[in-house]
């Protein structure tokens, strides 16, 4: 059985092209306890690609989960074994992505129509990585499946056929026909009550709610009904929303990080990554920092400097300090988050 892990009261959602190791390093400086998730990585890429490219993480990231995409139990087992060797705490199976590319590979949200196959996948992953928690992230239904019983049957089948006890539920349907991935994050209506009902009917499971959550007050409200909350895009565009999570939701009495300390850590990190000589450039890291000054006077100049191709071209981490110096010239007035 996997070892006991910190509670998933808060987590940052897996987001394609966004939650790479550089973003996760930044997030971990802001919050000590929040669970972090990788982008979805295809099982085939883990098996046949460069493991260091797809699986490398920073030592500071834990607790951290890697999300896999796939539908072949044998391939997912191979990928899970490789993932576990890199020190991840959790391996999550994607059963929620609605993109056409994922559908062609017969995985993602369409797997919700094949609960038996999902069970086989989860069992194969757990057997291959016995020291990792194996979890699943899914929607409440596919296309026009609007009945609560759809998601209840999916969860119930996996509960009876696998050792999986953690279900991360995006509280929208996935419309595989007619909506883009972006529209799938916005158009299907949110049905938080379905997720709350899952927790009532499966009290022994860890139920995490996801979808459209953007404020600390919303997080607190959801935590009255479920075990945890996963936040996505708000954590990327406004990462300092995580600054008070340890205090508010984990009872940590330590002072949250100050921006000047964070900026200094990010500059040092960039220096270390560039000096390692593995092809990492400042732009790879700085693109994740653009939202850090959200709500501050000076946020615009911070974004402009850290996204300016001419300023980034010399690949000098001192640009981060220079952008911060410009922010400090403005009044330190932060809007409420």
Annotated binding-site residues for FMN read 14-16, 67, 137, 170, 210-212, 232-233
As given in the structure block, the two tokens for residue 207 are: 């139920």
Q: What angle do CA 239, 243, 249 make, to 5 degrees?
A: 115
As given in the structure block, the two tokens for residue 246 are: 């340890």
State the Cα–Cα distance between residues 325 and 41, nearest whole angstrom. Answer: 37
State the Cα–Cα distance between residues 235 and 248, nearest whole angstrom. Answer: 16
State the Cα–Cα distance between residues 179 and 182, nearest whole angstrom. Answer: 8
Give all strands (DSSP E) within the chain, no chain letters.
Answer: 10-12, 35-42, 64-69, 90-95, 133-138, 141-142, 166-170, 173-174, 206-210, 228-231
State the Cα–Cα distance between residues 61 and 28, nearest whole angstrom. Answer: 6
As given in the structure block, the two tokens for residue 99 are: 């993109």
Residue ranges of the annotated binding site are 14-16, 67, 137, 170, 210-212, 232-233
Query: From the candidates 97, 121, 132, 235, which is the catalytic residue?
Result: 97
Give all strands (DSSP E) within 176-325, no chain letters.
Answer: 206-210, 228-231
Task: Count the Cβ atoms, other than its own, within 10 Å of residue 94.
Answer: 23
Coil vs helix vs strand at 122: helix
Give all strands (DSSP E) within 43-150, no chain letters.
Answer: 64-69, 90-95, 133-138, 141-142
262, 30 contact by CB (below 8 A): yes
97 as an active site residue: the answer is yes
Which amino acids are annotated catalytic?
97
């Amino acid at each position: 059985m996997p070892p006991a892990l910190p509670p998933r009261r808060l987590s940052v959602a897996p987001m394609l092209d966004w939650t790479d190791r550089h973003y996760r390093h930044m997030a971990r400086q802001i919050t000590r306890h929040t669970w972090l998730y990788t982008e979805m990585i295809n099982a085939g890429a883990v098996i046949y690609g460069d493991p260091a490219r797809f699986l490398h993480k920073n030592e500071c990231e834990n607790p951290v989960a890697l999300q896999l995409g796939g539908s072949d139990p044998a391939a997912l087992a191979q990928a899970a074994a490789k993932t576990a060797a890199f020190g991840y705490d959790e391996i999550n199976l994607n059963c929620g992505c609605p993109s056409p590319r994922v559908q062609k590979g017969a995985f993602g949200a369409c797997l919700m129509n094949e609960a038996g196959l999902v069970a086989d996948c989860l069992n194969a992953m757990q057997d291959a990585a016995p020291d990792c928690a194996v979890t699943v992230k899914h929607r409440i239904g596919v296309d026009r499946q609007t009945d609560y019983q759809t998601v209840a049957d999916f969860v119930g089948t996996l509960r009876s056929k696998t050792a999986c006890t953690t279900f991360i539920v995006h509280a929208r349907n996935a419309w595989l026909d007619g909506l883009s991935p972006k529209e799938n994050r916005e158009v299907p209506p949110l049905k938080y009550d379905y997720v709350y009902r899952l927790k009532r009917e499966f009290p022994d499971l860890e139920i995490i709610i996801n979808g459209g959550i953007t404020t600390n007050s919303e997080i607190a409200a959801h935590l009255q009904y479920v075990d945890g909350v996963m936040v996505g895009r708000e954590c990327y565009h406004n990462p300092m929303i995580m600054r008070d999570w340890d205090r508010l939701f984990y009872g940590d009495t330590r002072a949250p990080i100050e921006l000047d300390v964070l900026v200094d850590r990010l500059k040092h990190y960039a220096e270390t990554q560039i000096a390692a000589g593995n092809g990492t450039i400042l732009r790879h890291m700085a693109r994740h920092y653009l939202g850090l000054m959200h709500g501050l006077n000076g946020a615009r100049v911070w974004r402009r400097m850290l996204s300016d191709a001419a300023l980034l071209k010399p690949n000098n981490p001192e640009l981060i300090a220079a952008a911060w110096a410009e922010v400090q010239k403005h009044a330190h007035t932060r809007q409420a988050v």
